[in-house]
Chains A and B, each alone.
Chain A
């Protein structure tokens, strides 16, 4: 899948989620905004109640989406026989798509009634969803190969370009300007003494300051805009890599712990969902069947 096809793929998935959400909100807003005690008397109740044709359907469909999203991704990731099917990154994106659309459908299946045992399943689902969003953030903090495999530290360092040479070869700068830019992308070690939060803020403001300096130098050298942007982009990439290299160990640890939250919540959700479905069937609520 080339880059354009990937973009279309992502856009379609995103549109499906957005349209589904918009459609449900548009159709059901007037019903869902009614208090729980009054909903029974709404003409939409028969359709949108959790056991209604649409409400029940959304629950079933959402659950299937989530089960599929989890099971397919897990199978692709864990079983060798599936390891060659598609790129893992795309599977993750499809996993995210199904496990975003699924909870949305389940959310509307609940009709915002969060009580009883099944609420554990629901809130577990919410936890899995939220942890998924957090996990996605951690995930992108760890540099990966194009197939999604984590890169080693050396591989990451290898990614760093020789910006000093690029500046000398391609762009005519004075010595002082060259020095300022090269200094801005050097790894600094003076933050080690302070705590995590202070370090984070210091790094953030230092990076911004460095970028301003680079822009100032570029301006002083009267470089054309395209070259200025090229240099700023290079500097930004270098700074980002610097930070990722700095955070790599932290992110790798966080990702390890993230699995502890994400997967068990998913299992809890699944187990109680099964119980919920079982109880529902036992009491005679079989949707269209």
Chain B
């Protein structure tokens, strides 16, 4: 068994090298130096404390989304609707903040309520996908994808409709909230230790749910063999719903962080694609919670590191996306190759 795991690591290392090699070829084909590109990406993310703080700002929602997806993947569900669940978390958080704008409650209470509201909003949105799946027979991929579009439309409607800025509505979002509605940040840096803490707590809880509880074991049984799990006496569809709710709550928390700790308002692209990126992280770590932190950090660093590329090298910053996508593909490919080899052995 140990040998199998060691072998798996070797294959993943090969996949990583292949991915970088492949992206290097793309860079060479446009006459850009791969070495410079990687170097710029590295300094762009780890070059200074400020930059590293930016990486952490991206890391927080990505880690929360990944944590949620680990739960749905464990129960055999492809919760692609996680993107919309992030958005609804952000919308619900904004709604709570707006509701308490004139309130005399202590800001800490309001922020707590807003985050909880975001989690509930994400969970409710996820439950739609779950209900469609369980009672309507709609595959969660289709249901989730559809609801993602609805969530985007809803954001735009709110920003240009009921929640528009006084005077003229704008793509820059709703009116920013007063400063006391922000999760406190480190001096001179954009990262809030509170947000970081919440994200870490999220992944740790998920780790323990999946590793050590009856609930987690049952989720896994449902995911690996729905029919046998039912025959073993597990209430299967209820467990599917629970996993949607948990994932939705964590995605909602990610949305809440985007509002309370980063943008301080609702903007059209509030989720920044972290839902989809989280899917890639979850696939890359082969649904194992222990690897979520390093890999999510790595992906966040790629995202932030590539921001400077257009200025420094006239390369588009979507290079990070190319690298991430290629990496996932090669890792999946390597996993397939590994299984084929281990079968022959």
Interaction A to B: no
B residues neighboring A (CB under 8 Å)? none
